[in-house]
Amino acid sequence: MSGILEALALRLPHPLRTLAATYKSHQLDRIRRHGDRAALQAQVDFAVYRQMSRAALDQEQARRLAALLDHARQHIPFYRETYAPTGWQGESALAVLAKLPLLSKPQVRAAGEALLDERHRKTPHYVGHTSGSTGSPLNFHWSYQTLRTRFAMRDAFYQWHGVDFDHECNIRIGGRLFAPVSQKRPPFWLYDRATRQLMFSIYHMSDTTLAHYTAPIQRWQPTFVTGYPSGIYTLARYCQESGFVFRPKAVFTDSETVLDHQRALMEAAWGCPVVDYLGMEGGWIAQQCRAGRYHTPLLTAVVEIVDEAGQPTAPGEIGEIVVTDLTNDLMPLLRYRTGDSASWSADGCECGWNTPVLQNIEGRLDDFVTLPNGRKVGRLDHIFKNASGIRECQIVQESPAHFVFRLVPSADYSEAVERRLRQEAHARLGQDIRIDIQQVPAIERTGRGKFRAVISKVS
């Protein structure tokens, strides 16, 4: 239904589209502000990770996990029926959790309402939607209290890095449409007056339209930017190349893996930090501190990294991130497989947070390529480090030994750039790998507007 409503909204005149978007945002903001907001913000304040010892944090996490496991056993039919033979007894809550099977997206989709608290299925709550990398839709359900907690965590994250969501205007760049794709003249954006958010769609940001985006930026004077790294990178590159002056205080990336060359250009163009966070329907996974390290939030989630056999990995060993969200009691997802990869750091962090640190954030497991010798390689964006003449590039693996680089060239692209690109690719993939380079006018996005840097057709 939401897709139908969005399609109908695109047919409205721009002022009515703005009004509709502001009304929808206002409804969510009313939920966000409901209740004792100050107390909730105090509960999720990131300062607690410096104030409490690691032992105290672990103890409190175990207490919250035990309560969630008991709740799931009593009130969630899926866990009560599916996992009954597994047993719920153990030395600790973490030991009990470790005995449960991993939970995949197809299982969540097949379970349907059996994953919801049977007492509150009809209680008004928030329903979100995600298509995922496969394009298969998935609904997830949050109580309004869970939604408020997520908002409070987001606001605390922003405040930790020096911006105030309540009082500052921001730009949000994502995969929603705010004007028909066929529209050739501005405005391509909407301004949400409820939350002072200037909303840009990745679908309309191109070389022929970017000059039009300076007008709303000058009018509304946003102080920070959030959204898809690929879209933010596109705007930052335009500012750098055109000389348009925009000085946000910070950039917050989400939803896609932020690539090294994207981060470098954004920081150079705008002179501000680029801060990333990892989160999805399964829970808030990690966020960067001021030192740039990824910390897992011990009080709101249990984050694991497992190998292909589902066993815990050692520090430095890359595996799949698995998350248990401690804030969602309406639809608890226990040991939810994210499809993202990382490893644990063996070291602490200079920022003083007493929390585990993720490293080697290598994106989706789907983004890994398998070479003829069986070697798996991720984060191929290093091939483009210091490369000029390339606006964007997508790597498509057609077979174990055949790669196609689909690139959007800029004015300074040359044969020398292409030779350098091949050298870097062969250095990382092997000299016997076939590399084809195709110049294209644009890189297609997914149905949700996300940029996929790597597509492997090798099973």
Q: How many CB atoms lie within 10 A of CB 95?
A: 11
Strands, E, within 162-246: which ranges?
A: 170-174, 190-192, 197-201, 224-227
State the pTM of this model.
0.83
Q: What is the pLDDT of residue 391?
A: 82
Tens-digit pLDDT profile for residues 73-121:
999 999 988 776 666 666 789 999 998 999 998 899 889 999 999 999 9
Mean pLDDT, the chain, integer: 88
Alpha helices in 201-312 (DSSP H): 214-220, 229-242, 260-270
Domain 368-456 sits in CATH 3.30.300.30 = yes
When the candidates are 1.10.357.10, 2.40.170.20, 3.30.70.20, 3.40.50.12780, the CATH number that belongs to 2-284 is: 3.40.50.12780
Q: What whole-number percentage of the chain has pLDDT above 90?
A: 55
Compute CA distances 415 → 260, 412, 420, 425, whole Å: 24, 10, 9, 15
Specify whether the CB–CB gap between 274 and 266 falls below 8 A: yes
Query: Average pLDDT in the 268-297 region?
Result: 92
What is the rounded CA–CA span in Å between residue 326 and residue 340?
A: 19
Q: How many CB atoms lie within 10 A of CB 324?
A: 24
Contacts of 8 (CB under 8 A, 6+ apart): none
- Per the model's pLDDT, the better-predicted residue between 64 and 446 turns out to be 64
Boundaries of every domain in the chain: 2-284, 368-456
What is the rounded CA–CA span in Å between residue 290 and residue 160?
A: 8
Query: Average pLDDT in the 312-316 region?
Result: 95
What is the rounded CA–CA span in Å between residue 313 and residue 310?
A: 9
401 pLDDT band (50/70/90 cuts)?
very high
Beta 434-439 vs 197-201: how paired, if at all? unpaired
- Per the model's pLDDT, the better-predicted residue between 280 and 315 turns out to be 315
Tens-digit pLDDT profile for residues 173-204:
988 888 887 788 999 999 999 999 999 988 78
- Any idea which of 110-119, 287-296, 397-406, 450-459 has the lowest mean pLDDT? 450-459
- Amino acid of residue 252: F
What is the rounded CA–CA span in Å between residue 138 and residue 128?
A: 8
What is the rounded CA–CA span in Å between residue 349 and residue 356?
A: 9
